[in-house]
């Protein structure tokens, strides 16, 4: 009866388009299936919020994230899609437009659109700069209008090339929520001039993410990797079969002491997390028939390159609970504090938890994984989370200055192979000194950050967990709805997760350049 009521509510919703209603009805149908067989202990952990399956469906029939080899697709064409190999940029863009509609994900929209500068560059021969600009701009508009989902993700860099520069130019000009964008930075390859262009874009539209290319590349084999959805790093020609996340706050609440947390409680709930990973992966790989798809048959993905993501969140609350730290007072943000993000001992405890999680994930075999293992992930939160901080981030509204912020979190980054991100909110004065943004970025990456991400306080386009929204869309959502699928998530996140309370911080001019060499 509850499902029938939900169906009726969805179809009568005045703020949803017919397409959005279809998507929500499909989710309700998936949730009406009988859940996979799991132990009573795991069922209890799920029902009490210690472990979360990220609402991927009761019986998963598609992977969470899929990363096809688009270069191979353009070179070979597709029998299934009745497409020949692309011969020029028009054919390449047309072919990509077609295949994107056949690449599934948890959102039903592709979360990976490819390393587009590398993929498209061979098809740009003989074209002048303005011709390339016009074609890519139309392609960018098409993506936002036909696949209106901010989890859709493009990668560019680390090399300096005309397609990379054109995408940066178009993205800053259009300021669309989709696609999301990551710029790969490699200090041995990427010129400072190109990194500065990416930093200028952040000042303009809070995009792109800037990824530490050498660290990511060293985590995978020669086939490569991609950054997808929010900021998730996964094997190219593979993906993530599932993402299960562990609520560290709830785990810490069950521990009698710090030693009990490490010796007993954390291992117990990690074991239950792996039980859910196994159940969900087994159904996908053995019963859903997904891996009979044309993506596999035509060599665009390989089943062995899919891995489960072992996600965690609530690190800040876990540390403060384990230390018995009192509730944070926002009146004392810049004063000495014992809280996570502000105190060396608290930060070190957080690092110790990440190290312990890394050891557990790397020592625990899974049936369907990347080289037989899951990948540890600092999960960025979802719109219904309340009173808990995403991943290993510092609680919103309590952020220290950008330098201290980065130094507090850098040690975590070595452990989270499949993605970790913080969002630095920078005061709008950065627009008069974009060089400081570049230096802050270089400093963070030199300290081991896998991903540098910043919002600029005055921009309409801002990040939530890692996906983009427009504040202007949030303001009108209740009255007019939105053509973009992720606006509703951003609206809920604004109400539930305090994202609008992030503290804009000024980068001191005298600090930024020297910090890059620390």
Q: What is the pLDDT of residues 213-249, one digit of tens each?
A: 999 999 999 999 999 999 999 999 999 999 999 999 9
State percent of the chain over pLDDT 70: 94
pLDDT higher than threshold 50 for residue 449:
yes
Q: Is 447 helix (H, G, I), strand (E, B) or coil?
A: coil
pLDDT of residue 297: 98
Is the predicted pLDDT of residue 201 greater than 80, yes or no? yes
Mean pLDDT, residues 95-114 taken together: 96
- Please determine, for residue 139, whether its predicted confidence score (pLDDT) is greater than 80: yes
In the numeric block, the tokens 């202990």 are attached to 41
Q: Report whether pLDDT(381) > 60.
A: yes
Q: Which residue has the higher pLDDT, 6 or 120?
A: 120
Q: For position 315, what pLDDT does the model report?
A: 98
Does residue 473 or residue 44 have the better pLDDT?
44
Please, which pLDDT band fits residue 325 given cuts at 50, 70 and 90? confident
Q: Tell me the mean pLDDT in the region 362-377.
A: 98
Q: What is the mean pLDDT of residues 128-147?
A: 97
Contacts of 436 (CB under 8 A, 6+ apart): 430, 507, 509, 512, 513
pLDDT score at 482: 77
Q: Looking at residues 376-394, what average pLDDT do you find?
A: 94
Residue 206 is predicted with a pLDDT of: 94
Question: 25 or 43: whose pLDDT is higher?
Answer: 43
End-to-end CA distance of the chain: 61
- Token readout for 150 is 């901010």
Instruction: Please write the tens of the pLDDT for every residue from 455-488.
Output: 998 888 778 877 877 888 778 876 777 787 777 7
pLDDT at position 326, please?
75
Reply yes or no on whether the pLDDT at 511 is more than 50: no
- Residues 295-307: what's their mean pLDDT? 98
Q: Taking 60 as the threshold, does the pLDDT of residue 429 lie above it?
A: yes
Q: What is the pTM of this model?
A: 0.93
> Is 366 in a helix, a strand, or coil?
strand
- pLDDT at 1 exceeding the cut of 70: no
Q: Is the peptide bond before 80 cis (omega within 30 degrees of 0)?
A: no
CB-count exposure of residue 151 (10 Å: 0-12, 13-18, 19+): buried
Distance (Å, whole) CA 10 – CA 26: 11
Q: Judge whether residue 290 has pLDDT over 50.
A: yes
- Quick one: angle between helices 192-205 and 162-174, nearest 10? 20
Q: How many CB atoms lie within 10 A of CB 380?
A: 26
DSSP string across 267-279? HHHHHHHHHHHHH
Residue 509, pLDDT > 60, answer no
Average pLDDT over residues 140-149: 94
How large is the average pLDDT for residues 109-118? 97
Q: Which of 408, 454, 450, 412 is nearest to 430 (CA)?
A: 454
**Main-chain phi, psi angles of 60, to 5 degrees:** -65, 125
pLDDT band of 518, cuts 50, 70, 90: very low
Given a cut of 60, whether residue 335 has pLDDT beyond it is no
Decide if 334 contacts 399 (C-beta within 8 A).
no
Average pLDDT, the chain: 92
| pLDDT: which is higher, 149 or 466 | 149
On the question of pLDDT at 128 being above 70, the answer is yes
User: CA torsion 229→381→505→510, rounded to 10°?
Assistant: -60
- Residue 169 above 90 pLDDT? yes
- pLDDT over threshold 60, residue 332: no
- Candidate from 113-127, 187-201, 486-500 with smallest mean pLDDT: 486-500
Whether 512 shows a pLDDT value over 70: the answer reads no
Mean pLDDT of 381-400: 92
């Amino acid at each position: 009866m509850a499902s029938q009521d939900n169906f009726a509510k969805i179809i009568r919703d005045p703020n949803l388009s017919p397409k959005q209603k279809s998507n929500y009805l499909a989710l309700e149908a998936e949730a009406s299936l009988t859940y996979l067989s799991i132990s009573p202990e795991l069922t209890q952990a799920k029902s009490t919020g210690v472990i979360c399956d990220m609402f991927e469906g009761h019986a998963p029939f598609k992977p969470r994230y899929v990363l096809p080899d688009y270069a191979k697709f353009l070179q070979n064409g597709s029998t299934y899609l009745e497409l020949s190999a692309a011969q020029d940029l028009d054919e390449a863009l047309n072919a990509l437009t077609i295949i994107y509609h056949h690449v599934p994900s948890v959102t039903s929209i592709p979360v990976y659109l490819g390393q587009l500068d590398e993929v498209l560059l061979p098809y740009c021969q003989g074209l002048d700069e303005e011709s390339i600009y016009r074609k890519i701009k139309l392609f960018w508009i098409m993506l936002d209008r036909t696949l209106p989902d901010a989890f859709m993700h493009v990668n560019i860099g680390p090399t300096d090339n005309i397609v990379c520069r054109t995408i940066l130019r178009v993205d800053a000009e259009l300021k669309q929520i989709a696609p999301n964008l990551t710029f790969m930075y490699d200090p041995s390859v990427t010129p400072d001039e190109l990194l500065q262009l990416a930093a200028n874009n952040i000042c303009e539209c809070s995009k792109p993410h800037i990824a530490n290319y050498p660290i990511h590349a060293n985590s995978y084999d020669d086939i490569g990797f991609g950054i997808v959805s929010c900021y998730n790093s996964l094997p190219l020609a593979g993906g993530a079969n599932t993402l299960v996340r562990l609520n560290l706050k709830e785990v810490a609440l069950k521990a009698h002491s710090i030693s009990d947390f490490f010796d007993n409680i954390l291992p117990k709930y990690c074991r239950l997390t792996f039980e859910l990973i196994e159940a969900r992966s087994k159904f996908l790989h053995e019963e859903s028939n997904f891996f009979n798809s044309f993506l596999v048959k035509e060599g665009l993905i390989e089943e062995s390159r899919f891995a489960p993501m072992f996600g965690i969140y609530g690190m800040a609350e876990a540390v403060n609970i384990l230390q018995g730290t009192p509730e944070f007072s926002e009146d004392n943000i810049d004063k000495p504090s014992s809280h996570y993000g502000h105190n060396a001992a608290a930060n070190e405890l957080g690092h110790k938890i990440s190290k312990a999680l890394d050891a557990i994930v790397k020592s625990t075999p899974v049936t369907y994984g990347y080289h037989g293992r899951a990948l540890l992930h600092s999960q960025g939160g979802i719109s219904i989370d309340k009173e808990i901080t995403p991943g290993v981030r510092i609680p919103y509204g309590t952020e220290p200055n950008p330098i201290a912020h980065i130094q507090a979190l850098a040690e975590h980054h070595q452990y989270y192979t499949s993605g970790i991100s913080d969002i630095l909110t920078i005061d709008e004065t950065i627009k008069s000194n974009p060089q400081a943004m570049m230096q802050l970025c270089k400093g963070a990456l030199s300290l081991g950050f896998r991903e540098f991400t910043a919002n600029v306080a005055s921009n309409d386009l801002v990040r939530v967990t890692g996906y983009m929204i427009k504040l202007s869309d949030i303001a009108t959502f209740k009255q007019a709805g939105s053509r973009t699928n992720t606006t509703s998530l951003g609206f809920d996140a604004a109400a539930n997760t305090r994202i609008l309370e992030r503290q804009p911080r000024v980068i001191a001019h005298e600090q930024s350049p020297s910090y890059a060499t620390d």
